[in-house]
Amino acid sequence: MTLFSKLQKPEETASSVRKAFETRIEGFLREVDAPTGILGQRDKTLNGVFNWGRKVLNDKRVVEHSLDDYERAYRSSLSQIEELKNRLQQTQAQLQERDGQLQHAESTIQQMSLESSKMQAGYEDMIALTNIEHIQTVRSIQDQHELEAAQLRSECEQKEKERKMYHEDQERRLVGQLLTSQNDNGAWPDDKLKYKFSELRQLIDSTTSPRNKEFRIPDSRAVGSRLDPTNFIARVGSGKGHYLLKSAIWKILQEQFFSIPFGFGVFGPEKVPGELMKVYFTWRELFDMKNRKATSDDIFALLRNDRIANTWRSATFQTINEALAADGTLSHSESLLAQFSAENTQIAADRVNAVLLGIAKLSGNGLRKEVEEQVHEMVHVTSQIAIQFGVHTAQLQLLLPAIGEKVEIGESYHDCEDGDYNKGTVYTVDVVVVPGLQRIGDGRHDMTSKRSIVPCEIFPAES
């Protein structure tokens, strides 16, 4: 064997080479801690190793990308954590500051509460002391006031008593002068007419006053159409019944004493045409030839316009008045005029008593003697006023508006409850409670001007 042949390596076969590579590949895989059996039996070649390496490289890149994402997210989280830490520190600092403020506020509140309690206690003491002083002062003032008031009351009562006595004395003196300073048979001045009319009104008011229980109209009791033709009680209630009763009495007096003007109705509505009017017709024929055949529609036209006619009328009725006077120089108690006067006053009294008795019977009562005496007095005063309608040279007349007529509250018309409070207001007449007294002219130079001596009182209809 030559040296060359000794140095030449034995010839390697494919199988040995493969096996050698497989051995080396397995050794490499073990070195890199690759999983066992990662290559199949057929991939234990260099190409398989390369494929596996590429796969490992790709996986490595994926992992690296993921690690980069994780790192970025981690850094972002660290930044957020740092920011949160800063905010937490700021919040903690604010909380500490707020805690300090709260502690200071609590301390201030406690101090103020303590001061408030002290002040309240002081105020309560002051108020209690002030109340005691106030009560003592008020009591002292009240005692002083009551003492002064008692003294003033006593002085006032004494002065009022003296003033009342003085006024009563003056009134008696003036009324006495008014009633005696002139001939009772002559014409009364307006003041005396007003005084006598007020006297008559007071008699009627006193008789029909609601304090007289027998003349209170019971609820749900009809008074009849003659007394209440307009159904007044049903509309306004029985509490206003005394107004209707007054109206009924005044209506009777008007019919018995004032139904004919110029005083010719003083003896009643029936006797005048047959007796007293004959005197007037005879006189008119003597002094007024052109109207001697005048019809009944204008029989009083002469008295409304002629001075001489009114002078005759006044003189005639003054003579009649003197003949009827109780203190006349001659006895005329059995004269025809005296009979007419007595009959008429009795008829008027009987009619008024009949109305009052009818009302009293509604509540099971009768007429008291004092009521009958008041009725007698009221017809007597009415007779005195009625004859003045003839004695007076001026034309006197009762102011009697019709039911449903519109009147204005003022000098001539008053509300029976409110007087002339609503002056200027126009009302519709429901009931004439009290007729008015009116004077027209003076019978001499003035025949037209009107003056209200006593206002008419009405109960207005509900609007």
Quick: pLDDT tens for 395-428. Answer: 999 999 999 999 999 999 999 999 999 999 999 9
Q: What's the rounded mean pLDDT across residues 277-295?
A: 65
Phi-psi category of residue 59: left, alpha or beta, with phi > 0 → left and psi -120 to 50 → alpha:
alpha
Residue type at position 294: A
pLDDT at position 403: 93
Q: What's the rounded mean pLDDT across residues 116-139?
A: 86
Name the E strands within 363-425.
Answer: 395-399, 406-408, 413-415
Do 243 and 230 form a contact (C-beta atoms < 8 A)?
Answer: no
Q: Tokens representing 91? A: 């919040």
pLDDT at position 181: 46
Model confidence pLDDT, tens digit, residues 90-106: 988 888 888 888 888 88
pLDDT at 330 over 90: no
pLDDT at 317 over 60: yes
Q: What is the C-alpha to C-alpha distance for residues 444 and 308, in angstroms, rounded to an integer?
A: 8
pLDDT at position 457: 96
Give 243's contacts (C-beta < 8 A, 6+ positions apart). Answer: 232, 416, 431, 433, 459
Calculate the average pLDDT of the chain: 81
pLDDT at 446 over 70: yes
Positive/negative CA dihedral, 365, 367, 370, 371: positive
CA-closest candidate to residue 227, choices 353, 351, 355: 355
Q: Tokens representing 12? A: 């390697």
pLDDT at position 185: 66
